[in-house]
Amino acid sequence: MKKVFLALAVVTVALVACNNEGEKKAEEVKTDSPKVETPKVDSPVVAAPKADSPVVAAPKADSPAVKK
């Protein structure tokens, strides 16, 4: 009779060990860090440069900066 209880105990421990192994894998998947969405930051409005400003204007053909 002791052998029967010992066999049942061994089988029970083996089954519990197998079941716990599967649950640990499921818990590991659930422990991923939550994804946090960052709010969109409104950027300040920058006015476009005017067409006749020196930054945008292309060099003229008569300019000494243009070499021939």
Q: How many domains does the chain have?
A: 1
Assigned domain for 4 exists: yes
First to last CA, the chain: 110
* Percentage of the chain lying above the pLDDT 70 cut: 51
Rounded to whole angstroms, how far apart are CA atoms 42 and 47? 15
Assigned domain for 52 exists: no
Mean of per-residue pLDDT scores for the chain: 72
The predicted model scores a pTM of 0.30
Assigned domain for 6 exists: yes
Closest CA to 27 of 16, 19, 37: 19
* 28-57 pLDDT tens trace: 556 667 787 877 777 777 777 666 666 655
Domain residue limits at 2? 1-29
Is the predicted pLDDT of residue 21 greater than 60, yes or no? yes
